[in-house]
């Protein structure tokens, strides 16, 4: 079965509520979409929202690549050779993970529909469902507690709290959260490179009784060696995020002593499902757990990340709430959320329905 046509476009998706992290406030998100139509009418869809600050590529740059001569040259190619097509794309766009993610996801979706199997089952489903964390941005204590209460009413039981601007305020927010909710919530923290080593040590010491499950990327990229001064037991609860952009970084970070005990894999950083699974393969023999994250993304790429995550036996955590606050999207379905637990729909490909 051959590829009949390719169409790429940008769409700005509004958020239902803005949020703040250590280095920016976000009110809406621009995603690039890619539709690959096969001769029999099947349409595979991919999407990407790369962060220029993290990977050096914007959605507009990804769109330029996806509308270019190389991408259009996929017309006429056999979808059964989709892995080879992804490998060719990786050689063509080695520093454009958003471009690669959109291509990779669309090719996977088209191929899965062609076979009439879910992508997670094509790779071998290991996990049926996991609770996703939901994100609380940087805000004052009262607003933090109010957001937590709202999420509790919605059935979520895992919170990821953004920190990194003021460690004393961060500590207060975590302690107040735990005081208000001594049992119901699992609490994770994402510092987005906002701490110094001294800040991290202070945060650990002052929140020791708050049962924080993990901390994402506490120090800036390039300062990973400073983490080696922390006890190994604490490093096991640190997750590499911005430090982990692809398989090469994943391999480097496995060297002993390891600064991180957890890898946060994002398709928008590494370039799609195939690259994500390569990172996962590197992590498994090194004893590193997997934590699957996202940007503010369409259900398209969130579903792709969920399929990849559930094909890996060492996936322990997911943070795939990136589409929850979108006021609009181009698809429905792809996954289900029940009492905070996410699972694929079981539909072929990524199980998406075009709106």
- Does residue 315 share a domain with residue 183? yes
Task: Give the number of domains in the chain.
Answer: 2
- Does residue 149 share a domain with residue 225? yes
CATH number at residue 210: 3.20.20.120
pLDDT at 22: 61
Omega into 111 within 30° of 0, i.e. cis? no
CATH number at residue 99: 3.30.390.10
Last residue of a domain, one of 116, 139, 166: 116
Last residue of a domain, one of 75, 101, 116: 116
- Does residue 82 share a domain with residue 208? no
pLDDT at 14: 87
Range of the domain at 139: 121-354
- Does residue 198 share a domain with residue 58? no
- Does residue 106 share a domain with residue 15? yes
Q: What is the DSSP string of 190-213?
A: E-TT---HHHHHHHHHHTGGG-EE
- Does residue 323 share a domain with residue 194? yes
Last residue of a domain, one of 116, 141, 169: 116
- Does residue 151 share a domain with residue 77? no
- Does residue 161 share a domain with residue 91? no
> Other CB atoms closer than 10 Å to residue 312's CB: what's the count?
22
Entry pTM: 0.96
- Does residue 143 share a domain with residue 86? no
Contacts with 276 (C-beta within 8 Å, 6 or more apart), sequence order: 265, 267, 270, 305, 308
- Does residue 252 share a domain with residue 239? yes
pLDDT (tens digit, 0 to 9) for every residue of the chain, 355 residues total?
A: 999 999 999 999 988 877 666 666 777 789 999 999 999 999 999 999 999 989 999 999 999 999 999 999 999 999 999 999 999 999 999 999 999 999 999 999 999 999 999 999 999 999 999 999 999 999 999 999 999 999 999 999 999 999 999 999 999 999 999 999 998 999 999 999 999 999 999 999 999 999 999 999 999 999 999 999 999 999 999 999 999 999 999 999 999 999 999 999 999 999 999 999 999 999 999 999 999 999 999 999 999 999 999 999 999 999 999 999 899 999 999 999 999 999 999 999 999 999 9
pLDDT at 21: 67
- Determine which helix (DSSP H) or strand (DSSP E) holds 115, and give its type and residue range: helix 97-115
- Does residue 152 share a domain with residue 272? yes
Burial class (CB in 10 A: 0-12, 13-18, 19+), 139: middle
pLDDT at 25: 72
pLDDT at 23: 61
pLDDT at 85: 98
- Does residue 169 share a domain with residue 307? yes
């Amino acid at each position: 079965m051959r590829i009949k046509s390719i169409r790429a476009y940008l769409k700005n998706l509004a958020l239902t509520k803005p949020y703040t992290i250590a280095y920016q406030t976000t009110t809406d998100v621009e995603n690039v979409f890619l539709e690959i139509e096969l001769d029999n009418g099947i349409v595979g869809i991919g999407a990407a929202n790369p962060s220029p600050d993290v990977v050096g590529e914007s959605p507009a740059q990804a769109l330029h690549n996806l509308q270019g001569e190389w991408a259009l040259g996929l017309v006429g190619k056999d979808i059964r050779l989709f892995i080879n097509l992804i490998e060719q794309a990786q050689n063509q766009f080695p520093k454009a993970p958003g471009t690669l993610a959109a291509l990779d996801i669309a090719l996977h979706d088209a191929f899965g529909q062609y076979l009439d199997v879910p992508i997670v089952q094509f790779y071998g489903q290991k996990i049926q469902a996991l609770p996703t964390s939901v994100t609380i941005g940087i805000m004052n204590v009262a607003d933090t507690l109010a957001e937590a209460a709202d999420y509790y009413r919605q059935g979520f039981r895992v919170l990821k709290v953004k920190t990194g601007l003021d460690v004393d305020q961060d500590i207060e927010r975590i302690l107040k959260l735990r005081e208000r909710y001594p049992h119901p919530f699992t609490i994770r923290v994402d510092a987005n490179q906002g701490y110094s080593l001294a800040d991290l040590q202070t945060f650990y010491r002052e929140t020791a009784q708050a049962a924080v499950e993990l901390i994402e990327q506490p120090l800036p990229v390039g300062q990973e060696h400073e983490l080696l001064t922390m006890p190994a037991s604490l490093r096991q609860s640190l997750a590499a995020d911005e430090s982990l952009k692809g398989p090469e970084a994943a391999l480097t970070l496995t060297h002993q002593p390891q600064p991180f005990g957890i890898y946060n894999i994002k398709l928008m950083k590494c370039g799609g499902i195939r690259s994500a699974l390569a990172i996962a393969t590197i992590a498994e023999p090194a004893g590193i757990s997997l934590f699957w994250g996202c940007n503010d993304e369409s259900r398209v790429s969130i579903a792709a990340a969920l399929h990849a995550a559930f094909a890996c036996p060492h996936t322990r955590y997911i943070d795939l709430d990136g589409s929850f606050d979108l006021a609009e999207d181009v698809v429905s379905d792809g996954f289900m959320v029940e009492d905070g637990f996410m699972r694929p729909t079981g539909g072929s490909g990524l199980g998406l329905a075009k709106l």
